[in-house]
Amino acid sequence: MQTASDVESDREAAGRFLDGLKEHLNNRISLPEVREWIQNKEESRPTGKDVQYELLFTDEVVLPAVSEYLGKALGLPPTDERVRRAFLAESTLAREQKRTSDSPRSANKYLFTKVFGANSKGVVKSWWKESEKGQTCQSCPDWAFRAPCPHAVVFEGKFFRKGGIDAARRELVSGIYQCFYYLAHPTFPPTETHPAWDYKYACLFAYDASRERSLVTAWETLSKTIRDACSGGPSNIFVIVLPERRSIDT
pLDDT of residue 250: 44
Residues pairing with 202 in the sheet: 154, 237
The more confident residue out of 24 and 42 is 24
Confidence of residue 136 (pLDDT cuts 50, 70, 90): confident
Three-state secondary structure along 164-220?
A: CHHHHHHHHHHHHHHHHHHHCCCCECCCCCCCCECCCEEEEEEEECCCCCHHHHHHH
Least confident segment among 44-48, 159-163, 214-218, 222-226: 44-48
Extents of the domains making up the chain: 4-105+142-249, 106-139
Beta pairing, strands 143-145 & 153-160? antiparallel
The more confident residue out of 61 and 231 is 61
Beta pairing, strands 137-138 & 143-145? unpaired
Neighbouring residues of 217: CB distance < 8 A, sequence distance ≥ 6: 165, 168
pLDDT digits (tens, 9 = 90+) for 165-195: 999 999 999 999 999 999 989 899 888 888 9
Least confident segment among 35-44, 102-111, 133-142, 167-176: 133-142
pTM greater than the 0.75 cutoff: yes
Confidence of residue 200 (pLDDT cuts 50, 70, 90): very high
Q: Of 247, 249, 229, nearest to 239 (Cα)?
A: 229
Confidence of residue 228 (pLDDT cuts 50, 70, 90): confident
pLDDT of residue 58: 97
CB 63 within 8 A of CB 54: no
* Cα distance between residue 241 and residue 219, in whole Å: 7
Neighbouring residues of 104: CB distance < 8 A, sequence distance ≥ 6: 88, 89, 90, 140, 141, 143, 144, 154, 195
Residues pairing with 122 in the sheet: none
Question: Which range, 48-57, 74-83, 149-158, has the best average confidence (pLDDT)?
Answer: 149-158
pLDDT of residue 79: 84
Dmax over Cα atoms in the chain, in whole Å?
Answer: 60
pLDDT digits (tens, 9 = 90+) for 62-118: 999 999 999 999 999 988 999 999 999 999 999 999 999 999 998 888 777 676 554
Q: pLDDT at residue 216 above 90?
A: yes
CB 171 within 8 A of CB 160: yes
DSSP annotation of 223 reads -
